[in-house]
Structures are given as structure tokens and as C-alpha cells.
Amino acid sequence: MSSVPVTKPLPNSASSRARRSAGPAPAADRASAVLRLYNSPEARRVKEEICHAGRKLWLRAFVDGNGGNISHRIGPNAVLCTPTLVSKYDLTPADICMVDLDGNQLAGTRPATSEMLLHLEIYKDVPQAKAAVHCHPPYTTAHAITGVEPDGLLLPEYEMLIGRVAMAPYESPGTLEFARTIKPYAAQHNAIILGNHGVICWGETVTWAEWQVEVLESYLQVLAIAKASGRPLRHIPAAKAGDLRARRLAMGFPDNGSSKARNRKA
Ligand SMILES: [Zn+2]
């Protein structure tokens, strides 16, 4: 059960009709609508999904301490998100907050994470992005500190679900400048490595965004193992790249260009 009470709407009351004809809804109506959304069946489902994804991230060691954050855009100007200072393993639905696209907290008893600004930049720029997951998986974060863009055309899953990961520059975490580092990339890339920090992936649902993180991290782990073998990498033939790109686009993922082997000697 939620700790926030639901206020029943009075859509047909005389006062309600009078207010509608008088112009914008007063603050009490807006607050009531916010709580209805925050406590709606859809919000309850999403809160459970966020908690489930949080436990998956922790169990795979993709987050540390209270690190990482998860969000879902539930309305034109409403985003459900994880709070600050809670381990993703320990999340419960009652911990989930709701903010508007400017980062103002609308509902929830815990304060939202300051890194939510990063997620909000994606929602502002990419209408098809409904959910985002930010975390610090080790192999992906290793690329974040070397600044080396991962090689391509090595595994089909990576080509189909991500295509090409973007590399954003470093900025101080939690700041607007940090959030804006991803603006040049968010529309074309559903996975962005954050310089000296970690990664953010977006998708149609929280579950999909978490899968993007898993696919990227698994790919970079396999790539590290292959490189450590000292043997030359055997790339998928360039002639087959178009097929993988077509499948990526058919699944509704953004078009970030044709894949190619980018780093043959690395
Ligand atoms: Zn972070």
C-alpha cells in the first residue's frame, strides 16, 4: 500500500465545471491529479518494474553503494525515478519518487537522485524514450576511463540492439553540465558511455533499458577476453552489416549508422 493518499476527482461537480470554464486548474486540482497519477495502477506496475531492475543491476555488480538510477516517463511532464542514497538491491515501491521534466519533485517521501537531470535530458529530446537506466558496470566503465570507443561488427546482439555506443565527455556528476553532455548523442544512441563515470541506456520500458545495459556490458566483457587472447579479431563480414542494421531499425531502435570494424588493431 502506498503511503500517499488518493484524492477522488469530482469531475461533474458544479465547482469543477465552474473552474474549467474559469481557466487553468488551481493548485489543489493539480496536486490531486499528481497524486492520482503517482498512485495509479500503471504507476504501481512501473514501481515494481523499477525495483526488479534495481535488484538485477545489484546482483550483476553493475552498481555499487547507492550508485545507479532508474526512471520511467509516466506522463508528458511526470517521471517516476529512484531516490538518492538507497541501494538498488534494497529498493521498495514506496521509495520511488516522481519528478517533472525540470527535476522538481512532485511526489514520494524520499528525495529524487540528483542524477535524474541526466535522464530528463533524454526525455526532453527523445519522445520514444520511455525509460532509462544509469549504472557503472565494470567493463563498460573501463571504456569510460580509457575513452576508447568499442570495436564493432563482432557479435550480432550488440549490432542489433545497440549498433554503436556513443562516448560522452566527462563532467561533474549531478550537475546540469553533466546532464547536457549526452545531448548530442541521445536521439541517435540508446546506449551512451559517460566519460570517467559509467553508462546510460534508454528504451521503451525499464526492462528494455536494463537489457541494453546487459547487452553492452556482456559485449565489452567478451571483447576484453578476446583481446587478452592476443589473437586477431575475426569480424562479421561488412556485407552482412546491412542485415543487422535493418533488424535494429525494424525493432524500433535509433539509426546510428552502418556498423563497421572500427578498431582492427586494438
Ligand atoms: Zn553515476
What is the whole-number distance in angstroms between the Cα of residue 61 and the centre of ligand 1?
14
- The reply to whether 60 falls in a domain is yes
Distance CA 63, CA 137 (A): 7
- Domains: count for the chain: 1
- The reply to whether 188 falls in a domain is yes
- The reply to whether 198 falls in a domain is yes
> Which residue from 137, 135, 117 is spatially nearest to 66, judged by alpha carbons?
135
pLDDT (mean) for 107-123:
95
At 119-151, the pLDDT tens digits run 999 999 999 999 999 999 999 999 999 999 999
How do 105-107 and 131-135 pair as beta strands? Answer: unpaired
**Containing structural domain, residue 95:** 27-250
How do 191-194 and 166-168 pair as beta strands? Answer: parallel
Type and span of the H or E element at 135? strand 131-135
What is the whole-number distance in angstroms between the Cα of residue 67 and the centre of ligand 1?
6
pLDDT of the residue at 2: 34
* Whole-Å CA distances, 22 to 15, 18, 25, 43: 10, 6, 8, 31
> Which residue from 77, 32, 70 is spatially nearest to 51, judged by alpha carbons?
70
Distance CA 80, CA 82 (A): 7
Q: What is the band of 27 on the pLDDT scale with cuts at 50, 70, 90?
A: confident
Q: Which residues are catalytic?
A: 115
- The reply to whether 159 falls in a domain is yes
Q: What is the band of 258 on the pLDDT scale with cuts at 50, 70, 90?
A: low
Q: What is the band of 26 on the pLDDT scale with cuts at 50, 70, 90?
A: confident
- The reply to whether 19 falls in a domain is no
Q: What's CA 161's distance to the chain center, in Å? A: 15
Q: What is the band of 25 on the pLDDT scale with cuts at 50, 70, 90?
A: low
What is the whole-number distance in angstroms between the Cα of residue 209 and the centre of ligand 1?
16
Q: What is the band of 22 on the pLDDT scale with cuts at 50, 70, 90?
A: low
pLDDT (mean) for 156-165:
94
- The reply to whether 204 falls in a domain is yes
Q: Measured on CA atoms in the order 205, 99, 200, 45, is the torsion positive or negative? A: negative
- The reply to whether 7 falls in a domain is no
pLDDT of the residue at 118: 96
pLDDT of the residue at 188: 95
Q: What's CA 132's distance to the chain center, in Å? A: 1
CB 250 within 8 A of CB 165: no
Type and span of the H or E element at 58? helix 41-59
Distance CA 101, CA 103 (A): 5
CB 182 within 8 A of CB 191: no
- The reply to whether 20 falls in a domain is no
Helix then strand then coil, in percent of the chain rounded to 5, is 40, 15, 45
What is the whole-number distance in angstroms between the Cα of residue 34 and the centre of ligand 1?
28
Distance CA 131, CA 122 (A): 9
Those residues whose C-beta lies under 8 Å from the C-beta of residue 253, and which sit 6 or more positions away, are 160, 161, 162, 163, 190
pLDDT of 11 > 90? The answer is no
**Nearest-5° Cα angle at 124, 159 to 200:** 40
- Output the domain CATH number for residue 229: 3.40.225.10
pLDDT of 245 > 80? The answer is yes
What is the whole-number distance in angstroms between the Cα of residue 196 and the centre of ligand 1?
10
Distance CA 121, CA 116 (A): 9
DSSP code at position 148 = P
Average pLDDT, the chain: 89
Per the document, the length of the chain is 266
